[in-house]
Structure 1
Amino acid sequence: MIYIFKTSVTKKQDILQLTPVIKKSIPYCKWSFDLTDCDNILRIETKEAQKEAIIQLLKENGFECEELSD
């Protein structure tokens, strides 16, 4: 599955903070942030994680996160 989220992540420092959390919680996935996009996109490709778990993970770490619909 590929999930695309709008986030409140705005700085590389935020990504550095989230990197170990994402790697630990969703170890077998490909992910990236696009901070040049107005929605500060998080794109995750995974077979295991569910969108609700990803949203909760970011919220637990102080960031807003919502899935963008097709």
Structure 2
Amino acid sequence: MISIFKTNIGDENELVNIAQRLNKHLPDINWNVDLADCDRILRVESKDNNNDFIESLFRKMGFLCVNLEVFHTAPQ
């Protein structure tokens, strides 16, 4: 599954802080953030639906994180 989120990550320093938390709590996901995009898009690829946890984690850290779209991929 691929999930797309709108965030308000401002810069590389904030991204490093978020990366530490995401990697600690969800080590099996692949993710990236496009800081050049006006919506600071977070793209998450995972076998499981972690969307609620990701949104909650961002909120607890003081960031916006809104799920825009979910794509279900074929099993591999």
TM-score when normalising by structure 2: 0.84
Counterpart in the other structure of 2:11: 11
Displacement over 3 Å in runs of 4+: none
Aligned to 2:74: none
2:40 alignment partner AA: N
Aligned length: 70
CA RMSD of aligned residues (A): 1.3
Q: Which has the larger radius of gyration?
A: 2
Q: Which amino acid aligns with 2:60?
A: E
Aligned residues with identical type, % of pairs: 36
Q: Distance in 2 between matches of 1:69 and 1:59?
A: 18
2:75 maps to 1:64: no
CA contact (8 A) 1:6 1:39 kept: yes
Unpaired runs of 5+ in structure 2? 71-76
Q: Distance in 2 between matches of 1:41 and 1:60?
A: 19
TM-score by length of 1: 0.91
Aligned partners of 1:26 and 1:49 also within 8 Å: no
**How far 1:49 moved relative to its partner?**
4.2
